[in-house]
Structure formats: C-alpha cells, structure tokens
Amino acid sequence: MADDVKDELHSAIAARRELGPEMEPAVVEAFVARIEQRLSQRAGMDELALQRKRNHQKEMVLGAMGISVPLFIAAAIFAGLAGIITVCVALVAIAVVSTRS
C-alpha cells in the first residue's frame, strides 16, 4: 500500500509541474482527499477486526461457561475439590487465551 501512496504522490507532483502553480491547490486537495479516504477505509477495517475479536472472545467465554456445569458435576463426583479447582483453572485458562488471540 505504501508503494501506491508513493506513486500517487509522484503523479501529483508531475501533475503540478504540468498544470502550473495556479492549479497547485486543486492538485494538493485531490491528493489529500485520496489519502484521507484511505485512512478512513483503514480505520473501518480496524474497527471491523476489533468487533470480530470481541465477538470471538465472547463466544469462547460463553462456550466455556456452558460446558462448565457438566464439568463441575463430573469433577465433584469423581475428583472432589481437586477436580473443581482443576475445572476453574481450565476456565481461567480459556478466558486468558481467548483474550490474547
């Protein structure tokens, strides 16, 4: 993408040379408008990526909570307190891993 900006800048400079100083403000405004448009598109993509990440985190945590009830029951029956603590540690690990990815 940086090469595209460089090419556009070189094109704007060449257009300014050909058109003369009286058209310089229009050439500069057109170049700045293209750069602003790219920045707004990039910001939109960043917001979309952040929204996807938040949705993924929410799904992971809710899924972990959904399977935790049967895991707690099985852990309490077969392993007692140690099993319950193990399930809690696993739930925390899922929450931490899902926030880092």
Which pLDDT value is given to residue 1? 53
Q: 56 near 33, Cβ under 8 Å?
A: no
The pLDDT tens digits for 56-92 are 888 888 888 889 899 999 999 999 999 999 999 998 8
pTM above 0.85, yes or no: no
pLDDT at 93 over 70: yes
DSSP 79: T
DSSP 22: G
Those residues whose C-beta lies under 8 Å from the C-beta of residue 95, and which sit 6 or more positions away, are 60, 61, 64
Pick the more confident residue, 41 or 101: 41
- Residue 53, token pair as written in the block: 């990440």
The pLDDT tens digits for 46-59 are 888 888 888 888 88
